[in-house]
A and B are shown apart, each in its own frame.
Chain A
């Protein structure tokens, strides 16, 4: 059974940094692209970042480019999201998501999420 367990969320001041982790199990982690998707309180889903299976390719929307960095450690089956220069609008639940087998871009499994609150 695929399991994705996020951690690292919390309260951070505007301009601060936070590092999220996602521990994966139940599948061959190094064979799959992975992504982060967020959901602001009471709002819809928004793609945040993706990384190729090897880790060589990383991708971001303009809203987080230059502030967020996705990475992975395939030896430890773990996905990361380093967030810096955080803003109030980054407040959201952050989900780790496993891409489809062919990296088409849809998400076959999701973690339960970790809440990031950016506030002074």
Chain B
């Protein structure tokens, strides 16, 4: 079973700065990696799929990179609405979509 590990658990960043979130797979998932954003009391929202493709309507300040076992979500200039919890998900063996434990991005 592939395990997804996100780091750090919590990331404190000031508005306007860059945030870099990491996701590691215990074995290769190729580029079958998605990122979601979840705000308190809301459902998750798809940000990135295929490791680097932005979903419809997602601002260009969100970018994804990586392949194999190492992935990164970068938010280039944090806006107030970006403070949330972010989850990565591997989907290399549909339908078993395993999620990481999440990274909470909060205001410094």
Contacts and interface: CB of A to CB of B under 8 A. Distances in A.
Interface stretch (A13-21, A23-31, A77-85, A103-111): A103-111
B100 interface: yes
A106 B43 contact: no
B36 to A, nearest CB: 8
**Chief secondary structure at chain A's binding surface:** strand
B46 A46 contact: no
B95 interface: yes
Contacts of A50: 94-95
A47 B99 contact: yes
A104 B101 CA distance: 21
A107 B91 CA distance: 10
Contact of A113 (B43, B94, B101): B43
Contacts, number: 68
A35 B95 CA distance: 9
B87 A44 contact: yes
Interface residues of B, number: 25
A10 interface: no
A110 B34 contact: no
A59 B45 CA distance: 23
A105 B87 contact: no
Contact of B95 (A47, A109, A111): A47
Contacts of B91: 104-106
A82 to B, nearest CB: 18
B95 A107 contact: no
Contacts of A44: 87, 99-102
A106 B89 contact: yes
Interface in A82-101: 95, 99-100
Given A104-B32, A105-B32, A106-B89, A112 B95 contact: no
B90 to A, nearest CB: 8
9 contacts: A37-B44, A44-B99, A46-B99, A61-B96, A103-B94, A103-B95, A105-B95, A106-B46, A107-B97
